[in-house]
Structure 1
Amino acid sequence: MTSSPTIHCSFLNRAALITDGDTIGADGSVARPWRVCTVQQVEDFKTVLRILPLWITAIFLSIALGVQINFSILQALVMDRGIGRFTIPAGSMVVGCFIAVVVSVGLFDRILLPLWRRVTGHDPTPLQRIGAGHVITIVSMAASAVIERRRLATVHVHGEEGDPAWVSPLSAMWLLLPFALSGAGEALHFPGQVTLYYQEFPPSLKNTATGMVAMIVALGFYLSTALIGIVRRATAWLPDNMNASRLENLYWLLAVLLAVNFRYYMLCARLYKYQNVGK
C-alpha cells in the first residue's frame, strides 16, 4: 500500500512527458516517430537546401517586375495615350507585358529553341534559360530608365515640373518597349524555373515544386511595395507629383541591383550540380 503513491506519481510524470504524435507500445515504451527522419526525408531536405539560393535570386526579378508594372501605369497617366481618336486607358498598358510573354514563348518554342538544337545538338539547360531571363530583365529596367528620362526632358523643356496634371507629348506607346523586354525575360526564366524545380525535386515534393514560382511572384510583388516605401523615405525621388519625380533613378537602381543579383546567380549556378536533369 505504501508504494501506491509512488507508482501514481510516476505514472503522472510519465504521462506529462507524452506529447501529440507519440505512441505507447505494448510494453509501455513511448515511441516518437516525429523525431526520427528517414534517409529519403533527409535527402529531400538536402535537395531543397541546394536549390534555395537559386530560388532566392528569382525573387529580385519579381520585385523589379512589380515596380515596373506599378510605375508604368503612373507614367502612362502623364503621357500621350492617344491613337487617332482613341485614348488608351493607362491600366491597359500592362496588357503589353502579357502579350509579350505569349508571343515570346511561341517564338522561343518554335524558332529559337529548334535553332539552338541545330547549332549545339542539345536543348538549353534550365539554368541557361533562367540566366538569359535575368539578362533581358536587366535590359528592360535600363530601357524603362531611358524612356522616363525622355519623358522628364519634355517636362523640363515646357517648364511644367510644378503641374502634376500636365501630360507630356511623348507617346505612352514607348512604354511597350520595356514591357516587351520584360515579357521576353519572363518567357525564359519562369518556364526555366518550373522545369528546374519539377525535375530536380524528388517525387514526394513534386506538388511543392509547382508552387515555388507562385511563391516567387507573391513575395516579389509584396516586397516591391516595401522597396518603394524605403526609397520614398530615404530619397526625394518619388514625390506625389510624377512630373517632379526622379523615377529614372529608381529604374537605374533596380538595374544595378539585378546586375549584382545576376552575378550571385551565376555563382550559384556554377556551383549547382544537377540531380535529375539530363537523366
Structure 2
Amino acid sequence: MECLKRRFLDRAAVVSVAESKEGDYYNRWRLCTVTQVEELKILIRMFPIWATGIIFSVVYSQMATLFVEQGRMMDTTIGSFHIPPASLSTSDVITVIFLVPIYDRIIVPFARKFTSKERGFSDLQRMGMGLFISILCMSVAAIVEVARLKLAKEHLVLNIFWQVPQYVLMGASEFFTFVAQLEFFYDQSPDTMRSLCSALSLLTTALGNYLNSLILTLVSYFTTQGGKPGWIPNNLNEGHVDYFFWLLAGLSILNMLVFIVAAKGYKQKRVF
C-alpha cells in the first residue's frame, strides 16, 4: 500500500520534464508540495477508521428510534406513575456521567501500569472497546425483545425497566467510541486540517442516520413480501424487532473486524 502511495501520490510533487522546460512551477493544479502529498496520505490512512464509525452510528440511532418503540409495548407504569419510554434515554446520560470519574480515577491509573500510556489506552483501543460494547448492546436488546414477545403471546407485558441494561451499554459504548474518535481525528489529522477532520468525525453520525433509514427500508421491503407483517410492523407484537437487532449485532461484528484490521495496519502520524 505504501508503495502504491509513493507511486501514485508522490508523483504529484515531482516536476515533470514539460513543466521543467516551461518553468511552470507554481500551478497548484499540476504540482503539489511535499507537505500536501503527505497530508493526503494521512487522510487516506485515517479513512478506514473513519468509515467504521458509520455502522456504530447506525447502532447508536436505535436509542431514539426502535428502543422507544420497543418501550411503548412494555409496562410503563409504577403504581400510578407513568414512565415515558423516551425518558429511559436518561440512563445513557447517567452512565456517561458516572463513567467519566470512574475512567479517569480508577481505570486509567490501573491501565497505565500495564500499557505505559499516559491516557491508559490509545484512542484506537478505546474505539475498539466502544465497538465491542455496542455489539453487546444490540445483543441485549434482542434478548429483551425475545422475552417481551414470549410474554406477549401469553397476554403478559414486560416491565420497561428491562430496557435499562441496553441503554447503559449504549452509554458506555458512546463514552468510549465518540470521545476517542474526536481525540484520534484531532491528534492524527494534518496540523492545518484539525478542525475539518474533527468535523468529519461528527459526519459519521449523519451518515449513520441515513444508512439506518436505508437498512430499515430494505428490511421492510424484503420482510413484507407475500403479505407478511414484516420484522417491524406498526404492532410490534406481530413482528420480529429482535431479528433486526440481531442483524445490527451481526453488522457490528463485521464492522469491528474491519476496524481491527484497519487499526493494526494504521501508521501513526509522525510527530516532530
Secondary structure in structure 2 of the residue aligned to 1:79: coil
Distance 1:150 1:246 in 2: 12
Q: Does 1:130 align with 2:127?
A: yes
The amino acid across from 2:180 in the alignment is: G
Q: Does 1:265 align with 2:250?
A: no
Structure 1: runs of 5 or more not aligned: 1-28, 159-167
TM-score for both structures, normalised by structure 2:
0.83
2:72 to 77, 98, 123: 77
In the other structure, the counterpart of 1:151 is 148
Q: Does 1:208 align with 2:196?
A: yes
Task: Give the CA RMSD over aligned residues.
Answer: 1.9
Per-residue deviation, 1:38: 1.6
Per-residue deviation, 1:69: 3.0
In the other structure, the counterpart of 1:256 is 250
The amino acid across from 2:123 in the alignment is: P
Structure 1 residue ranges, 4+ long, deviating more than 6 angstroms after superposition: none
Distance 2:116 2:62 in 1: 39
Residues 37 and 206 of structure 1, relative CA distance in 2, 3 Å threshold: same
Distance 2:201 2:28 in 1: 32
Distance 1:203 1:218 in 2: 25
Q: Does 1:87 align with 2:87?
A: no
Residues 102 and 209 of structure 1, relative CA distance in 2, 3 Å threshold: farther
Count of residues in correspondence between the two structures: 241
Q: Does 1:176 align with 2:164?
A: yes
Maintained 8 Å contact 2:63/2:89:
no
Distance 1:48 1:42 in 2: 10
Cα deviations across residues 248-268 of structure 1 (Å, max 9, x unaligned)? 000111111111111111111
Maintained 8 Å contact 1:199/1:276:
no
Work out the percentage of aligned pairs sharing the same amino acid.
32
Per-residue deviation, 1:106: 2.8
Cα deviations across residues 162-183 of structure 1 (Å, max 9, x unaligned)? xxxxxx5311111111110011
Residues 67 and 230 of structure 1, relative CA distance in 2, 3 Å threshold: farther
Secondary structure in structure 2 of the residue aligned to 1:80: coil
Structure 2: runs of 5 or more not aligned: 1-23, 224-229
The amino acid across from 2:204 in the alignment is: I
Per-residue deviation, 1:246: 0.2
Larger Rg: 1
Report which stretch shifted further, 103-112 or 121-130. 103-112
Q: Does 1:237 align with 2:234?
A: no
